[in-house]
Homo-oligomer: A and B are copies of this chain.
């Protein structure tokens, strides 16, 4: 019995046994068996979990091998700074505060160059300002006599810390100087409070600043010199990638709806491709932080000082505007109400043409942004897209006429019988047509919104003086 039903669990066994005559041996063996199975299950589950975790980590590393480099860069910076600590001359010079250099490396070293520079400069500047202010407060407190000193100091610390904490709520400060304000509070408290005990304030401030400078510059140099990850370039790539995703999804969605496999023949998983736009819906926070960090970066590659990073956010906003409509389009495509097949056929060509033209415009915009060269034929493509919009409008307008040709004409008898002779043919079910009308309307709407992306990209081309397009052969 125990062998025949080995897959069931302990609980079931007990129930079975309590119904029949209890046998001690069977109970014991069933317990061992179920414990064994439970243990095996546990090990297997654990193995699966570890394997899944490992797969996740592997995927993270494979998706972007620069992450591995980043880890090694942090390790290298830390080892180099530790060397300063090991070597006696530096150790004697910087004293016990050498650990500040280690702290700085760990806290300041970020994935992108911009973030590292932003944090490094924030830390340095905040330390300088807070040190100076702390010194002034300390001096003011000293003037008020030995007894009143702690009280005056306490009041100053309370007021300045509270004010600085409030500053962190201001959105612009939060976005760009949050870390700086934190370090300001930290250093100010340290200088003014520890100053109560020690009189080597100048020495302390000097040491802290120099060690922070060592750590900060080490981070910035390593992050720039070894496999740099530029926030600006990441933003640039993210924006073009999002435009491409939108183009692919638009194409994919419409082709899927009209069962048109020709357009997606080169793609093995059309469903996945047509859903690619979903990540664009929620990329705003990433874009904003990248744009924020990009402003701190020195000129690199094709990007010069004062590169209009804010304009990228405008392009992103325009792209997202299209994406919201695509999301609505996607849900209409998956609507339960199916449009009549002949109507679908009638609009199919015009819809696929418009989606493909829109997608071509988007891809051209992505290429323009990617290559940072003005497009020679964007105007032509936009014209084509607008032409496709007109064609679709015409197809829609000729639809009732087409319907008439396709449906059997009303017989004279029915016409004579009914009050309104044309009702039978006019009264085509508008609800059935609805998803199709919505899809076409949203396609037209998306084409209109693409004009916004075109304008934003053109503005970027003007602001950062894109070169004219190269010849077609060179592209």
A residues touching B (Cβ–Cβ < 8 Å)?
A: 56-57, 60-61, 67-68, 70-72, 74-76, 78-79, 82, 85-86, 91, 99, 102-103, 106-107, 150, 154, 157-159, 161-163, 165-166, 169-170, 182, 185-186, 189-190, 193-194, 196-197, 281-282, 284-285, 324-325, 327-328, 331-332, 335, 393, 396-397, 399-401, 403-405, 409-410, 415, 420-423, 425-431, 433-435, 437-438, 440-442, 445
- Residue pair A165, B71 in contact (C-beta under 8 Å): yes
Q: Which of B197, B325, B422, B437 contacts A441 (CB 8 A)?
A: B437
CB-based closest 10 A-B pairs: A328-B328, A422-B422, A71-B162, A75-B162, A75-B158, A71-B165, A400-B426, A324-B327, A438-B441, A71-B166
CA distance A67 to B170 in the complex (A): 11
- Residue pair B437, A423 in contact (C-beta under 8 Å): no
Q: Which of B74, B102, B324, B404 contacts A328 (CB 8 A)?
A: B324
Q: What residues on B are CB-neighbors of A415 within 8 Å?
A: 421
A158 and B79 contact, Cβ closer than 8 Å, known pairs A106-B186, A107-B186: yes
Q: Tell me the dominant secondary structure on chain A's binding face.
A: helix
CA distance A74 to B168 in the complex (A): 12
Q: What residues on B are CB-neighbors of A70 within 8 Å?
A: 165
Q: Which of B102, B331, B403 contacts A193 (CB 8 A)?
A: B102
Nearest CB on B from A416, distance (A): 12
CA distance A56 to B285 in the complex (A): 22
Nearest CB on B from A325, distance (A): 5
15 A-B pairs besides A282-B285, A328-B328, A438-B442 with CB distance below 8 A are A57-B166, A57-B170, A60-B170, A72-B162, A74-B161, A85-B196, A86-B196, A107-B182, A324-B324, A328-B445, A397-B430, A404-B426, A421-B421, A422-B425, A437-B441
Copies in the complex: 2
* 17 A-B pairs in the complex with CB atoms less than 8 angstroms apart: A67-B169, A75-B157, A82-B157, A82-B189, A102-B189, A102-B193, A107-B186, A282-B285, A324-B328, A399-B430, A400-B426, A400-B427, A400-B428, A401-B427, A415-B421, A434-B441, A435-B441
CA distance A187 to B68 in the complex (A): 22
- Residue pair B438, A426 in contact (C-beta under 8 Å): no
A75 and B159 contact, Cβ closer than 8 Å, known pairs A102-B193, A150-B86, A327-B324: yes
Q: What residues on B are CB-neighbors of A445 within 8 Å?
A: 328, 331-332, 335
- Residue pair B328, A442 in contact (C-beta under 8 Å): yes
CA distance A442 to B99 in the complex (A): 61
Measured CB to CB, the nearest residue on chain B to A74 is: B165
- Residue pair B170, A56 in contact (C-beta under 8 Å): yes
- Residue pair B185, A106 in contact (C-beta under 8 Å): yes
